[in-house]
Amino acid sequence: MELTEDEVIQILRLIEESSFDELSLMMGDIKLVVRKRINANAVEEEPAIKPPTESVIAEKPVIELRREKPESKVQKIEDKAAEILEEGFLPIKSPMLGTFYMRPAPGAPPYLEVGSFVEEGDTVCLMEVMKVFNAVKAGVRGYIAKILPESGQLVEYGQTLFLVSPGDRIEKKEIKA
Amino acid sequence: MKNISRVLVANRGEIAVRIITACKGLGIESVAAVSEADKDSMPAKIADRVICIGPPRPTDSYLRADTILCAALGTGSDAIHPGYGFLSEQPELAESCRGNNLIFIGPSPESLRQMGNKLLARKIVKGYSIPVIPGSEKVGDLKEAYKIVKEIGFPVLIKAAAGGGGRGIKIVTNPDELKITFETAAAEARIAFGDETLYFERFFPNARHIEVQIVGDHFGNVIHAGERDCSLQRRYQKVVEEAPAPSISNKLREEIRKAGVTIAKNMKYESLGTVEFILDQDSNQFYFLEMNTRIQVEHPVTEMISGIDLVKEQIRIAANYRLSLSQSDVRLAGHAIECRINAESPELGFQPCPGQITHWLQPQGIGIRVDSHCYSGYFISPYYDSLIAKVITLGADRSQAIDRMRYALKNFVVAGIDTTIPFLSYILNQPDYIKRQVNTSWIEHILDRPLYYTNNKHYDLRRVT
């Protein structure tokens, strides 16, 4: 199973014009995930300083090509994409009410970003309740597909923090020109 | 309202509904802090905003002061209303509010501390020359216990210093029981309150429970809004309350009210509070029992006869307003009764009966008020106490209030779960109750009567089939 550059560009055009933010495509042993990056360069807020910046920077879609275990049957692009958007993700929910932080300390790199791979025991964020910080574990294994709250935001008990595309780690493969 | 524009309601059930309603009346926004089990509850439906604070178990949600504080700050609330129970009498929450620039809708942490420890409260009140129930200081060990019991005599009550509200009380009727009861009381107090300090109090077999509603502000004004009689109790929990206290002389009534105000004034009390007394009917002497430093379950009977919205007044006071009325403005008229309806099965020893309410039809009519958070389809969670509604009736006099209560109970339809409605109907029809020949042990005697209940199946009107 091969994808030509022309086909990839065609797919990109499709998703750019569509109302979806993300497209996952599985064809045989190839898995293609295309995502419109929103907020990619927005500066992440440091714990308890200022309100989150509202800048939305539209970027060119990012392509990741993942090779998956060989699978048969080609399916229709549209159907599959919609299905995965609705059903394919697992949520990581907040185990407590508190303030949500993406970094262990101001200036430190975030625990993860969209596309990061997490194992069950990995810390995904911090929750602060009255100056006490609690580490939140992923509880699932897979790729982070979406980060829902803004860092520094009050989060309820049970609120979904992350959407994870479940599965094992997959080696990335460069697209051949 | 200046100072308070948004209130976090840190409670659940009917009192959360009551507080949110008062906020709406004052033009204040309300935030309902709910556990996961209460996301569909009535407070969640009527508040301006809802925030889920944790899992159903109270220790993981409604009892977590840090989480409640975080929720208040995070939602931009400027005050916390703790309701009753849960964190309402915890000085720690009131103190943290102070430290975080939040208003705690209740008294000062100092007042909470003084009255929260029942031994300390007895000592303070004694200092104001108000009679307290004859009893002991802290009882350290069994040897001391035997000595003290010799002085007080049997029966005697063993109480936990950190208890209150009818919790942590055991009765000892003869010397043989003393050892085992004393030991189990200490163990239970340690688990329930984290403090095994015990003290002894004389038990009055023929007593009434009379309490005074206190309202104080931050400017040194303290008034009372009359008294309530809460003598009908089962296992030290109130079942039926009324106001004013019937069949006591006006002289005694005034003395009790005055004693309540004296205590609150001396301790510079700055909120709603209730001073509870035991009236020994054999000697006609009253004694201080304890003070509850919060809004009480039975506050509506006082509201009905005084016309004062106590919860609104409590919020106004917390926002640093002066009392909206003086003592001479308080006009008490008529007679009010409250019945507490619990999701319990009277036939099964009042076993709690959680489950889904399939039908819920509240009684209506002149002089009938129902405070509740329930509705058809509501699921009564097993995690919390079993109070599902309070029916309050107002009459021109006591007999009219009783008539209206009988009508209200008879026409209250609850299906899907067992409730105490049939039991309450039974009580309201007892000649002793009507003639006011009751005391705090009366309900237990009633329950001892063989087949008291099964012979009265016609009171059972709760089922819709």
Helix H, strand E, coil C: the string for chain A is CCCCHHHHHHHHHHHHHCCCCEEEEEECCEEEEEECCCCCCCCCCCCCCCCCCCCCCCCCCEEEEEECCCCCCCCCHHHHHHHHHHHCCEEEECCCCEEEECCCCCCCCCCCCCCCEECCCCEEEEEEECCEEEEEECCCCEEEEEECCCCCCEECCCCEEEEEEECCCCCECCCCC
What distance in Å separates residue B36's CA from the closest CA in chain A?
Answer: 8
Q: Does B97 touch chain A (CB under 8 A)?
A: no
Determine contact: B54 vs chain A, CB below 8 A. yes
Cα three-residue angle B310-B10-B163, rounded to 5 degrees: 80
CA atoms of B15 and B295, how far apart (whole Å) = 9
- Of A91, A113, A111, A99, the residue nearest A153 (C-alpha): A99
Judged against a pLDDT cut of 80, whether residue A16 lies above it is answered with: no
B6 compared with A55, residue with greater pLDDT: B6
Residues of chain A contacting residue B96, judged by C-beta atoms under 8 Å apart: 130
Lowest mean pLDDT among A12-16, A151-155, B194-198: A12-16
Distant-in-sequence, close-in-space partners of A29: CB < 8 Å, separation ≥ 6: A1, A67, A68, A69, A70, A71
SS3 label, residue B411: coil
- Interatomic CA distance for residues A51 and A48, integer angstroms: 8
| ipTM for the whole predicted complex goes beyond 0.85 | no
Please provide the distance, in angstroms rounded to a whole number, between the alpha carbons at the two ends of chain B. 49
Distance from CA of B93 to the nearest CA of A (A): 12
Residues of chain B scoring pLDDT < 50? 455-465
Write out the residue limits of the CATH 3.30.470.20 domain(s) in chain B.
207-459
Looking at the partner chain, which of B52, B66, B67 has a beta carbon nearest the beta carbon of A158?
Answer: B52
Rounded to whole angstroms, the Cα distance separating B399 from B210 reads: 20
Across the interface, whether the CB atoms of A129 and B54 are under 8 A apart is answered no
| DSSP assignment letter at B132 | B
Query: What local confidence, expressed as pLDDT, does residue B456 receive?
Result: 47
Which residues of chain A make contact with B52, given a CB cutoff of 8 A? 97, 156-159
Contacts of B70 in chain A (CB under 8 A): 97-99, 128-130, 154
Please tell me which residue, A18 or B17, carries the higher pLDDT value: B17
Q: Which among B251, B270, B260 is positioned nearest to B225, based on CA atoms?
A: B260
CATH 3.30.1490.20 residue ranges of chain B are 134-202
What is the Cα–Cα distance from B262 to A78, expressed in whole angstroms? 78
The SS3 call for residue B125 is helix
- d(C-alpha B197, C-alpha B163), whole Å: 10
Which residues in chain B are classed under CATH 3.40.50.20? 6-105
Split at pLDDT 50, 70, 90, the class of A5 is confident
Is domain B6-105 annotated with CATH 3.90.1580.10?
Answer: no
Per-residue pLDDT at B61: 96
The CATH class of the B134-202 domain is alpha beta
Nearest CA in chain A to B55: A157
CATH 3.40.50.1100 assigned to domain B207-459? The reply is no
Q: Which domains can be identified in chain A, with CATH numbers?
A: 5-166 (2.40.50.100)
- Residue A68, pLDDT > 60, answer no
Provide the mean pLDDT of chain A: 72
Using DSSP bridges, classify how beta strands B285-292 and B222-234 pair: parallel, antiparallel or unpaired: unpaired
Catalytic residue list contains B406: no
Mean pLDDT for A142-167 is 95
